[in-house]
C-alpha cells in the first residue's frame, strides 16, 4: 500500500463546511470559473471537490474579505504562491491609492459645500523667489480627464529632448494659461528647465520663463487628483484676497518629486502663482 494519502473526493456539502463557504458561493465560483468542481455526477449533477483544494477555497474566503473581485481572485489562484503574494500586494496598493484619493475628495467637497470655510487652515502658504529659466515646452488644449496621461507623456518627451542640452536642471512645471474644468480646456503648457546657456540655440519649442516672486502651497500625491487639487488653488486665491496680494500670472504645478516612487501621502507638487 502506498504511503501517500489518497486525495479524497468530498461532496459539495462536506467541502463547503470544511472550507467555511456556503454551497451557494461554491456554485457561483463554479459559474465564474474561480473554483470549478473536480467531478460532476452526469446523472444527478452533484458536485465533488478534491480535499487538496480546501486551501484554495479557504484562500478565496480571505480574499473576498478584502473585497477582491472574483476576476482578480481567479487570476491569483492561477499563479504560484510567491506570485500570489505579489498580486495581493498590488491589489491592496490600489485600494490604498483609491482610499487616499477619496479621502482628499471628501475634504475638497467639505470645503466647497461650506463656502470655503477653514480652507486657509488646511494649506500652508509660502513665498519664494524664482530665477529666470530657459524651458523646453509642449502646449495644448486639454480637458481634466486628458491631463493624467498627457502631462507625464509630455514631460517624458521634453526630458528626452533636454538631453541634447545637458539635461533637466530644475523641477518641471505645468502652466495653466486658462481654466481647465468641465467647460474650459486651458490651454496648458508643460515646461522643462534646461541650462540657460543654450538660449538662442534651441531646435525644439522653448521660451524664457521670467524671474518672479511666487506664492505657493505644497500638496501630496493624493491631493493632485482632480477635482480635489482645485482646493489648493482656491486656498492660494483666498489667501491673496485676504492679504490683498495681486496674483500676476497664471497658476502652475511644480512637480519636484519622482511620481512613480512616491506614496499617496508624500509631497510631490507645489501649486504656485506669480505675485506682484
pLDDT confidence bin for 103, thresholds 50/70/90: confident
pLDDT band at 4 (very low <50, low <70, confident <90, very high): very low
Is 196 found in the same domain as 69? no
Q: Which H or E run includes 39?
A: strand 39-40
Q: Write down how long the chain is.
A: 276
CATH number at residue 225: 3.20.80.10
Q: Which domain holds residue 194?
A: 119-275
Question: Are 190 and 253 found together in one domain?
Answer: yes
Whether residue 67 is found in the same domain as residue 152:
no
Query: Is residue 1 scored above 80 in pLDDT?
Result: no
Give the model's pLDDT for residue 98: 87
Structural domain total, the chain: 2
Residue 226 pLDDT: 87
- Please report the pLDDT score of residue 261 as a whole number: 92
Do 59 and 188 share a structural domain? no
Residues 127 and 213 in one domain: yes
Percent of the chain with pLDDT over 70: 98
Task: Note the pTM of the prediction, 2 decimals.
Answer: 0.73
252-255 and 39-40 strand pairing: unpaired
CB 190 within 8 A of CB 130: no
Residue 211, domain member (yes or no): yes
Q: Hey, CA dihedral for 197, 249, 124, 234, is it positive or negative?
A: negative
Position 67 in a domain: yes
pLDDT surpasses 70 at 2: no
Tell me, yes or no, whether 252 and 136 share the same domain.
yes
Instruction: Categorize the per-residue pLDDT at 133 as very low, low, confident or very high, splitting at 50, 70 and 90.
Output: very high
Say which range, 1-5, 72-76, 176-180, 187-191, has the weakest mean pLDDT: 1-5
Would 3 be classed as within a structural domain? no
Give the pLDDT confidence of 206-259 residue by residue, as tens digits. Answer: 999 999 999 999 999 999 988 889 999 999 999 999 999 999 999 999 999 999
Residues 269 and 147 in one domain: yes
Residue at grid coordinates 534646461: 194
- Contacts (Cβ under 8 Å, ≥6 apart) of 10: 18, 48, 49, 50, 51
Position 62 confidence tier, pLDDT thresholds 50, 70, 90: very high
pLDDT score for 7? 84
Q: Could you tell me the CATH number of the domain that includes residue 73?
A: 1.10.1660.10
How confident is the model over 67-97, as pLDDT tens digits? 999 999 999 999 988 899 999 999 999 998 8
Identify whether 84 is part of a domain: no
Residue 5, pLDDT score: 55
- Rounded mean pLDDT, 173-178: 97
pLDDT tens digits, 14-58:
999 999 999 999 999 999 999 999 999 999 989 999 999 999 999
Amino acid at each position: 500500500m502506498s504511503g501517500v494519502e489518497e486525495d479524497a473526493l468530498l461532496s459539495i456539502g462536506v467541502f463547503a463546511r470544511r472550507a467555511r463557504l456556503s454551497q451557494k458561493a461554491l456554485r457561483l465560483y463554479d459559474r465564474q470559473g474561480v473554483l470549478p468542481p473536480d467531478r460532476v455526477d452526469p446523472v444527478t449533477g452533484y458536485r465533488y471537490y478534491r480535499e487538496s483544494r480546501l486551501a484554495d477555497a479557504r484562500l478565496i474566503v480571505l480574499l473576498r474579505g478584502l473585497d477582491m473581485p472574483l476576476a482578480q481572485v481567479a487570476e491569483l489562484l492561477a499563479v504560484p504562491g510567491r506570485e500570489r503574494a505579489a498580486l495581493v500586494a498590488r491589489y491592496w496598493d490600489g485600494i490604498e491609492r483609491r482610499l487616499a484619493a477619496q479621502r482628499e475628495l471628501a475634504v475638497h467637497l467639505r470645503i466647497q459645500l461650506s463656502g470655503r470655510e477653514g480652507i486657509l487652515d488646511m494649506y500652508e502658504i509660502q513665498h519664494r523667489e524664482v530665477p529666470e529659466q530657459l524651458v523646453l515646452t509642449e502646449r495644448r488644449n486639454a480637458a481634466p480627464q486628458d491631463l493624467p496621461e498627457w502631462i507625464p507623456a509630455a514631460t517624458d518627451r521634453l526630458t528626452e529632448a533636454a538631453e541634447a542640452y545637458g539635461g533637466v536642471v530644475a523641477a518641471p512645471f505645468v502652466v495653466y494659461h486658462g481654466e481647465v474644468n468641465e467647460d474650459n480646456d486651458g490651454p496648458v503648457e508643460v515646461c522643462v528647465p534646461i541650462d540657460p546657456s543654450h538660449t538662442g540655440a534651441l531646435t525644439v519649442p522653448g521660451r524664457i520663463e521670467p524671474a518672479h516672486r511666487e506664492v505657493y502651497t505644497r500638496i501630496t500625491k493624493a491631493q493632485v487628483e482632480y477635482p480635489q487639487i482645485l482646493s489648493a488653488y482656491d486656498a492660494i486665491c483666498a489667501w491673496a484676497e485676504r492679504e490683498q496680494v495681486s496674483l500676476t500670472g497664471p497658476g502652475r504645478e511644480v512637480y519636484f518629486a519622482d511620481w512613480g516612487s512616491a506614496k499617496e501621502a508624500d509631497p510631490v507638487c507645489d501649486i504656485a502663482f506669480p505675485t506682484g
